[in-house]
Structure 1
Amino acid sequence: MRNRSGHTGLIIRLGHLDEGIQNEERYTRLSSQVSMASSAALVTGGAKRIGAAICLHLAKKGYSVAVHHNSSSKAAEDLVEVIKALGVNACTVKGDLSNPEEFTQIISEASSQIGPILHLVNNASKFVHDDLDNFDDESWNAHMDINTKAPLMLTREL
């Protein structure tokens, strides 16, 4: 699948082993054509928890990393300092993924600081505890905006 910019996405359907193997081989060929040292990755929700681990892993592999956050400025800045200490280029990018008007700005800001974004890790999520008694349409929409809509729209923006 190609988006508007011609970037190729990897899609593996469960239950289609042969297709998955072919896609994995194709992905490996594509990956080997791109120098990791010159590759830049944007990790949404990258400041804490799993996102921070992903950022560190990418940095240790030589990727430049844009650590996206919405409200975790201090954690994002601290993580960028750790990544830079590894000798890797990194930056923070603040943005509200529930606001589609910010998608272009997030990618533009990341690109201007670490180079063209070739890799996107859609990790951000709405991190609140909802239970059935309090879960309403507004809460549902907030979760869907962050967890479903934002990854699709950010991928399209690239």
Structure 2
Amino acid sequence: MTVELTKILTNYAVFAVIWYVLQTFGYFRLLRKTPANKVLAFIPVVRELVMFKLVWKSKFAGIIWFVCAIGGLALFLVSASTGLQIVGWLGIVMMIASIVIHIKRSRKQSKAFNLSGGITTLLIFVNPIGNIVIGMGQAEYKGAK
């Protein structure tokens, strides 16, 4: 491995750890206001599925989001290694669908805590900070709307 690649990977690892800590702290503060178990804030995929369950009326929205995100990434990687373009395009469509579902979840999360579009924007672009703001603010959990 080259020195440049080592620096890039080290920077990425440091950023990923900081992002994980902020996400965990934000979700922990947020889950304190809900009936969900607070320990789930430490498990990344589970906390996302719990949030989908808390803010979305559909029981399967979180699973659909997860399948689109992971399936899309897997199809895109398979396409890169095999050269099948149609599989790659299907993967991209699935990843875009997962992003759209996550944006809708951010809107529903704001509504579940009776907050406005500013928090939705914060949740879309800087999710950990949005969760910390909701968790440490005066907002109360009202349930899925």
Per residue, is there more strand in 1 or in 2? 1
- TM over 0.5, shorter chain: no
User: Normalized against structure 1, the TM-score is what?
Assistant: 0.27
Higher relative contact order (CA 8 A, sep 6+): 2
User: Normalized against structure 2, the TM-score is what?
Assistant: 0.29
